[in-house]
Amino acid sequence: MNEAVTMSGRGRGSAEPVFVTLRQEIIALSLAPGTVLSRAALQARFGVSSTPIRDVLLRLEAEALVEIFPQHATIVSPIDLGLAQQGQFLRRSVEMEIARVLAQAPDAVLLEGLRRLVRRQAAFADLDEHAAFAEADQAFHRTMYEAAGVAGLWPLVRRQGGHMDRLRRLHLPVTGKMREILRDHEAIVAAIAAGRPACAQERVRAHLSHSLDAVDALRARHPTYFRS
């Protein structure tokens, strides 16, 4: 959906922070699948009129993160594994190419920045801070897009990856998952630093494939979170 059209003028200004907040809460599962979103309650919470709330919900619907039933209710969508697989395929394809490009010409400044982000993630893992860990995780990947000169692809991939991102957040609290992510990030950085494009691509492939491997266990723990 064209955000410039949908959120033009004053409506965009008032709606944008609402959209960002609600999307973050859906991805973080603070708003769990099946949660009913009352337009009146959202207007009261954010102090905006009905028009920005309508536009925000339409944007979330365009990303398949909510389902709008006219004259009835708006609910947070269940996790759709088909959409999650598509989001994973897109992100993995893009980031494997990014890793190849970066490994062809390793950059010391980039590598230090990535290592710094890994250290930040390790500190959050020690504190069991899932939200902060996830934010640093996104910063790690976004930095690679920027370094490869394709920063504009980051929001595109993010818009297509909401269901996969929710699956990852559901997986994050599982014992050992944060440490696994840290090891993956360290391996990606090492392959780029060594100037090994094929190895860097394989490290990215493995890293972005783990959560779907855990679907059966996650679904058993949270059956109501998934589309039947």
Domain boundaries, the chain: 3-76, 81-225
Q: Per-residue pLDDT tens for 68-94?
A: 998 889 999 999 999 999 999 999 999
- Residue type at 58? L
Are 41 and 51 spatial neighbours (Cβ–Cβ below 8 Å)? Answer: no
Contact 226, 219 (CB under 8 A): yes
Angle (CA) 181-33-228 rounded to 5° is 95
pLDDT digits (tens, 9 = 90+) for 201-228: 999 999 998 888 889 999 999 999 999 7
Which single residue is written with the structure tokens 């536009």? 55
Q: Which residues contact 10 (CB under 8 A, 6 or more apart)?
A: none
Indicate the SS3 state at residue 25: helix
3-76 shares its CATH topology with 81-225: no
Q: What is the pLDDT of residues 174-191, one digit of tens each?
A: 999 999 999 999 999 999
What does the pLDDT read at residue 103?
Answer: 98
81-225 belongs to which homologous superfamily? GntR ligand-binding domain-like (1.20.120.530)
Pairing of strands 66-69, 73-76: antiparallel
Tokens (6 digits) for 78? 């269940």
Q: 3-76: which CATH architecture?
A: Orthogonal Bundle (1.10)
For range 90-104, the mean pLDDT: 98
What pLDDT is attached to residue 2? 37
Give the CA angle between residues 103, 130, 218 to the nearest 5°: 90
Percent of the chain with pLDDT over 90: 89
Name the residue among 94, 78, 89, 228 with its Cα closest to residue 167. Answer: 78
pLDDT in tens, 130-169: 999 999 999 999 999 999 999 999 999 999 999 999 999 9
Q: Cβ(14)–Cβ(52) under 8 Å?
A: yes
